[in-house]
Amino acid sequence: MIIVLEQKVTEEKKAHIRRFLEKRGYQVREIVGEVETIFGAVGTPGIDLREVELLDGVSKVVPITKPYKLASRELKKDDSVVSIGPVKFGGGRISVIAGPCAVESREQIFAVAEAVSKAGAVVLRGGAFKPRTSPYAFQGLGELGLSYMKEAGEAYGLPITSEIVSPAHVEMMASYVDAFQIGARNMQNFELLKEVGASGLPVILKRGLCATIEEWLMAAEYLMAHGTDNVVLCERGIRTFERYTRNTLDLSAIPVVKKLSHLPVIVDPSHGTGLRGKVIPMGLAAAAAGADGLMVEVHTNPDEALSDGPQTLFPEQFEKLMRDIEAMTPVLGKSLEHIPRRKPFSAARKPADEGENLAAFQGVPGAYSEEALRQYFHESFQPKACRHFRDVFEAVASGECRYGIIPVENSLAGVINENLDLLLRYPDCRVVGEKEIRIVHSLIAKPGTKLADIRRVYSHPQGLAQCEAFLDTLSGAERVPFFDTAGAVAYIAQQEDAQAAAIAGGGAADYYGMEVLKEGIETNPRNYTRFYIITREETDETGGREPNRMIMVFSTPDEPGALFKCLKILAEHGLNMKKLESRPIHGKPWEYMFFVETEIPGRTSYEAAVEQLRTASEDFRILGSFYTRK
Ligand code: PEP
Ligand code: MN
């Protein structure tokens, strides 16, 4: 049952309710949500729910109708975020696990770890105890394999996971792995589930070869009932009559499970298809279907692999898969998880303590900038709304917020010049990352409003312009320009105007208790906005990776070929220019600063180019550098 606690319940009352339930044989979990705190009580004692409802501090009691309780969405409405080492699964991330089917040697696991970490995998996989169909096939290196894998994981900063096949291995394996993997063949090995669950370590739970979704969730329930809250479900294909693929990868299970359970769901397209050529398309399809991540088999020499070679990707194929997923993330509204390696603030410039975890954006809550900020930082930073772009820079420069996010260009409307100018005016603020989101406009109105009633539509002029074709279908509706999109929603929420609507992102409707009348009303769906992440420090937001993109700004002497000379330096050092903008220099009519974004192929060529540019140009400055997959 779910016990919803009163909003201001005291710790004392909570302890009393917990004692009451535990004494009657229930297991109790506290779940703190955004709106309410609940106790989930599971077990079989038959008591009258009214007895619980009468307890002091209880607001209401709701029975859980599903046979799985702790894993159920009824118990927990928000998505669970599961941590494996420093890496997170769920909550808007796509987290990718990769590695060989089996650990074969120290050299092999090191080589694969290097390749997959370079391509962006965040967890290293590898079997040490292989449950093979034939007793004569390679059975794995056992504990020695785990020790090689632990070493390789540490060398490349990757947490590791490996399959456990026997309850007797729990203690030994717990000293090596960051997460247990329960294989398809063991999904209903209940003694194993109990022991693994009791270890408290995170678990990746594969779906059994012939398991229904409910049986799979019941297996998760076993793990959770015995002590771990950190379960990642993994769809890996089920047995059907089809024999062309090794299994039938059931991607429809993803939206089904996401509705039934709060647990993250990942997909293993390697075992799911059994064929290398099918892994990339099905991996992309899994991401499109809403998977929170992938588990992929990769080997530096798959043709020599001791197990599952035919379904194992070459490192270059894995790299392509990662690039393609990254390209999909703006459409999915997610971000690819990377290993967080954050440098602490330097003591001299430390902001107020609370600023440590704040990130500033311009606009009111529900703005697209806030959406970008959430997709980039997830729950690790609190958004702070600022009125103007300048305020975002101020908040970062003063140390009030550790980070800021600023839009720099929209794929339809072009560059946001004000922010380029502000980058010049705030030399303390450096660009350390970028985030691209897809702009999906919605028509938002008060709950109960009908499309036919709308007479006035408020939005930022850009929002109105980008939805022109749709607005033409609302005959006679006046278009009212407003200072920002989410601000328009906030405004009509306060008005007594039953004929008003606003155009903004769907998030604004949730925030102001309004209703989306129609989603995706933009004329051109290929509408993206790119943001820069700014901070005062050279932090390691790039996930410890060498930056491969640099933004610089300079002016040139007033002479023939001056800009050409600077660009020639880029060309000579192999720095591929991705963007060139010019902005007027304030106070110097008809003189310009040039903003250049370039790829950095390697440290030496980059340093040599910068040195030459400093002499060839005037006022040369680097505005920042970061890692991007583009
Ligand atoms: C594996 O991932 O190594 C494995 C054996 O997978 P499954 O249990 O899904 O067959
Ligand atoms: Mn395998």
Domains of the chain from N-terminus onward:
2-62 (3.30.70.1140), 94-131+138-336 (3.20.20.70), 442-521 (3.40.190.10), 542-630 (3.30.70.260)
Q: How many helices (H) and strands (E) does the chain have?
A: 20, 30
- Tokens for 316, please give them: 């270059």
pLDDT of the residue at 60: 87
Q: Which of the following is catalytic: 39, 389, 393, 531?
A: 531
| CB neighbour list of residue 144: distance below 8 Å, 6 or more residues apart | 128
Phi, psi of 566 (to 5 degrees): -65, -45
- Tokens for 521, please give them: 């009303």
Angle subtended by helix axes 315-332 and 106-119, to nearest 10: 30
Phi, psi of 400 (to 5 degrees): -65, -35
531 catalytic residue (yes or no): yes
**What amino acid occupies position 437?**
I
The pairing of strands 456-459 and 500-504 is parallel
pLDDT of the residue at 543: 55
CA of 204 to the centre of ligand 2 (A): 15
Q: Whose Cα sits closest to atom 4 in ligand 1?
A: 183
CA 600 to CA 592: how far, in whole Å? 24
Query: pLDDT digit string (tens) for 552-585?
Result: 999 998 889 999 999 999 999 999 999 999 999 8
183 lines ligand 1 (CB under 6 A): yes
Low-confidence ranges of the chain (pLDDT < 50): 343-352
409 lines ligand 1 (CB under 6 A): no
> Half-sphere exposure of residue 540, counting CA atoms within 13 Å on the CB side?
12
Ligand nearest to the CA of 299: 2
pLDDT of the residue at 153: 97
- Tokens for 175, please give them: 């000293």
271 lines ligand 1 (CB under 6 A): yes
> Half-sphere exposure of residue 40, counting CA atoms within 13 Å on the CB side?
21
Helix H or strand E encompassing 578: strand 577-584
pLDDT of the residue at 210: 96
pLDDT of the residue at 376: 92
CB-CB contact of 397 with 499 (8 Å): no
CA of 262 to the centre of ligand 1 (A): 23
CA of 245 to the centre of ligand 1 (A): 15
**What amino acid occupies position 309?**
G
CA of 78 to the centre of ligand 1 (A): 29
CA 346 to CA 246: how far, in whole Å? 54
Name the residue of 234, 271, 297 to mutate for ligand 1: max ligand atoms within 8 A of Cβ: 271
Q: Provide the Cα torsion 95, 101, 104, 110; round to 10°.
A: -20
133 catalytic residue (yes or no): no
163 lines ligand 1 (CB under 6 A): yes
Name the residue of 138, 180, 205, 236 to mutate for ligand 1: max ligand atoms within 8 A of Cβ: 236
pLDDT of the residue at 343: 46
> Half-sphere exposure of residue 2, counting CA atoms within 13 Å on the CB side?
22
- Tokens for 473, please give them: 């279908």
206 lines ligand 1 (CB under 6 A): yes
CA of 260 to the centre of ligand 2 (A): 28
